[in-house]
Structure 1
Amino acid sequence: MKITIVGGGPGGLYFSILMKRQDPSHEITVYERNPEGATYGWGVTYWAGLLDKLRAGDPESAEAIAAASVTWTDGVAIVRDERTVHRGDAGFGIGRRRMLGLLADRARELGVRVAHEHPVTGPDAPELAGADLVVAADGVNSLLREARPERFGAEVTGGRNHYVWLGTTKVFDSFSFAFKETEHGWIWCYAYGFSGEQSTCVVECGPETWRGLGLDRTQEDETLRLLEKIFADLLDGEPLIGREQHGDGAPAQWLNFRTLTTRTWHDGNTVLLGDAAHTTHYSIGAGTTLALEDALGLAAALRSHGADLPTALAVYGRRRRAELVSAQSAAHYSAQWYENLPRYMHLPPSQMFALLGQRHSPLLPHIPPQLYYRLDRAAGRLEPLRRLKRWLGPKVAKAAHRG
């Protein structure tokens, strides 16, 4: 097939790798509008389960990504001025630029043409002429999707809170949070390492706090200095870095997260992948993982139904929409938890942090926080007894039968 991929993010690049591995005779081109090395965002988070899937798809790129990643197990939260630690599962971080570079190198090694600084302006662009398959991996603002809104049925809902992506030279060895109360309300930060030199910091607050602190009207440099002061104990004196300082050319922007869903993921020979098809709130750290899983799902559908493109694309969309339900639900409740943060901040920090880990629960918004915490603790104490009962049950029954 002749395959044209619009968008050189992780999902688009990884899909090109998978298709070249399936059939080296595929003619594949990836068009990316930005210069090579230019990207929005700092680090990417993922969990061990993703590495297993990537190893099955392409061991070489999986090992390169694993080798370039940092890892952590603890979660640390600073609430006002009190620090609390929770143990957790291993998580991984890698610089977004680094990941894109590794995937682009691997794609080229397999014979994929990767063209940077080459925007594709719409479905009638000459770059798409003659393609058997067009993959729209061009992000939440996808030109290919928006050119046919009635076909794809996209719906976007905006979040209440404001957030900004920043970097720092403080290297975190745990996934860290800081929640600070100001005279204008709460403001908080998520921070995680992605290399031996830098970390990502995502700062978020409600609209009242955003305006009250003047963040709606300060320039990037002023914003960074104010946030450094607020989160001084988290940063240990290290500076925050904005996009201009990072070499991206544009100042850091405060945004409202937009949750995107689409009714169908393909139209003719054009198929959506990654943020062009769906978004999930950044607080669950799944955006890149879901895009890579889209790539795996699309490649698998084409392998099974390659001669029947309409069936392959329909199967891909149907399966991935079903698989996304749990992640989209978790993201919805996670975003809601942060939008209602003051509801939890009267708790002792250790209890608040425990409920932060339970923020995906659909029950939590409807149960008083302290009661939910007690019930969750009680359920945790009962779980070993449940496991023992499940283990003993067959053995008791077997002994009774012998008797």
Structure 2
Amino acid sequence: MKVACVGGGPAGLYLSILLKLRDPNHDVTVHERDPEGSTYGWGVTYWRGLLDRLQEHDPASARTVEQHSVRWRDGVARVGDLATRHHGDEGFGIGRHRLLAILTARARELGVRLEYERQVTGANPPAADLVVAADGAGSALRAQHAEHFGTEITAGRNHYVWLGTTKVFDAFTFAFVETGHGWIWAYGYGFGPEGSTCVVECAPATWRGLGLDRADEAEGLLLLEKLFADLLDGHPLTARSSGRAGGPWRTFRTLTNRTWSRDGLVLLGDAAHTTHYSIGAGTTLALEDAMALSAALHERATLPDALAHYERERRAALLPVQSAARLSAQWYENLPRYIHLPPQEMFALLGQRHSPLLPCLPPRLYYRIDRAAGRLETLRRVKRRLGPVIARTVQARRLATGEGPGGSRRPDAVPAHRG
């Protein structure tokens, strides 16, 4: 099969790798509009589950990705002068440049053609049996057939900006700062010894009240560095230069499509769907799309059947993730509901922000119910673990003493000891 992947991000590169691994005779080309080595953003996050799946599909690239990743198990929440730390699941961070370099090298090694500074639009699609639109949320290939794909975009309320810093966080860190115009907060996570990603978010009234809508890039960064001075420990913030007042700030756009394919064209990653950045799943979902599409192309007899199967599988897998992302975004949009709780409680509800029940109950009541349910679940786990041990102990005692099931002595039993 001749395959053209339009977009040299993680989704397009990883799909090209998997296709060549399944069949080296596939003719696969990746077309990327930007020069090699140029990308946006600083780092991406992922969790152990993704690393395990990468290991299953291509151990060579998985090992390299893990070697160049940093990891953490703690989460830290700072609310004003107060802070709390929780131990949690193992998380990973890797620089986006590093991830793309690893996938690029692996694709070349397997014989994938990589064409950089190659602008592909809907008006000049490459000739191939299958064209994969992996060109992001603003996909030009998808836009050419927007009516067919049924693209819908929903804008979020809050403003956010994606920044970098030379401060290396040792945990996934949340910092909430109160200003005269409302709360502003940051998510920080390390991606290597050189620094961390720092995403800053606030409500529209806070954004305007602080003058971030009017500040140029340098002024905006200086203001944020002052607001988050305790978090940054003197380290600077950096941005992708836009040259416009308020330019780097945006509102998140949740994108969905009615269908993901049209004849020999299929959507992959952000071109097909987006999920709010606060759950840190964008790169993971893109790579999982690539896994599902490569498997469907290999296992299904015809291209239409393969594309239909890929879409069904991924839509089903995305449902809980999209729900979690929607609820997570709404939690931050309703931050005043939670921010004045004691830090321990606020942080616990921050971790529970994906729950559909949380918006329906008073926060402190939800917290108490969740704590009680957690204790019950702990007791259930202890019971499941100790139950067989206790049962064997009781059975051994009964056999030794001649007791029946209800504790009475069996008539034919011989006492173990006569006084």
Between the aligned partners of 1:52 and 1:386, the Cα distance in structure 2 is 28
Q: Structure 1, unaligned stretches of length 5 or more? A: none
Between the aligned partners of 2:53 and 2:65, the Cα distance in structure 1 is 13
Opposite residue 128 of structure 1, the aligned amino acid is P
Task: Quote the residue 1:164 is aligned against.
Answer: 161
Q: Does 1:234 align with 2:231?
A: yes
Q: Does 1:266 align with 2:282?
A: no
Q: Choose which of 379, 391, 394 in structure 1 pairs with 2:373.
A: 379
Q: Choose which of 110, 132, 138 in structure 1 pairs with 2:135.
A: 138
Between the aligned partners of 1:313 and 1:80, the Cα distance in structure 2 is 50
Residues 372-397 of structure 1: CA deviation (Å, up to 9, x unaligned):
11111111111122224445677869
Between the aligned partners of 1:47 and 1:311, the Cα distance in structure 2 is 31
Task: Quote the residue 1:211 is aligned against.
Answer: 208
Opposite residue 44 of structure 1, the aligned amino acid is V
Specify the SS of the correspondent of 1:111: coil
Identity of aligned residues (%): 67
Residues 104-156 of structure 1: CA deviation (Å, up to 9, x unaligned):
1110111101111111021x41x512x00110001001111111112211111
- Change in 2 beyond 3 A, CA 1:392/1:171: closer
Q: Does 1:277 align with 2:272?
A: yes
Task: Quote the residue 1:198 is aligned against.
Answer: 195
**Deviation of residue 249 (structure 1)?**
8.7
Contact 2:186 2:198 in 1 (8 A): yes
**Deviation of residue 322 (structure 1)?**
0.4
Contact 2:168 2:196 in 1 (8 A): yes
Deviates more, 1:283-292 or 1:100-109: 100-109
Q: Does 1:294 align with 2:289?
A: yes
Q: Does 1:352 align with 2:342?
A: no
Opposite residue 283 of structure 2, the aligned amino acid is T
Q: Does 1:328 align with 2:322?
A: yes
Opposite residue 193 of structure 2, the aligned amino acid is G
Task: Quote the residue 1:365 is aligned against.
Answer: 359
Deviates more, 1:203-212 or 1:38-47: 38-47
Opposite residue 69 of structure 2, the aligned amino acid is S
Aligned-residue Cα RMSD (Å) equals: 1.8
Task: Quote the residue 1:32 is aligned against.
Answer: 32
Specify the SS of the correspondent of 1:188: strand
Between the aligned partners of 1:345 and 1:27, the Cα distance in structure 2 is 54
Task: Quote the residue 1:6 is aligned against.
Answer: 6
Between the aligned partners of 2:349 and 2:166, the Cα distance in structure 1 is 29
Between the aligned partners of 2:170 and 2:105, the Cα distance in structure 1 is 28
**Deviation of residue 295 (structure 1)?**
0.1
Task: Quote the residue 1:316 is aligned against.
Answer: 310
Between the aligned partners of 1:391 and 1:69, the Cα distance in structure 2 is 35
Q: Rg: which structure is higher?
A: 2
Residues 202-249 of structure 1: CA deviation (Å, up to 9, x unaligned):
0000000000000001111111100000000000111111113xxx99
Task: Quote the residue 1:66 is aligned against.
Answer: 66
Q: How does 1:22-171 map to 2 (within 5 A)?
A: 22-122=22-122, 124-125=123-124, 127-129=125-127, 131-171=128-168
Between the aligned partners of 1:43 and 1:250, the Cα distance in structure 2 is 24
Contact 2:216 2:243 in 1 (8 A): no
Contact 1:184 1:213 in 2 (8 A): yes
Q: Structure 2, unaligned stretches of length 5 or more? A: 399-403, 406-419
Between the aligned partners of 1:182 and 1:352, the Cα distance in structure 2 is 19
Contact 1:260 1:279 in 2 (8 A): yes
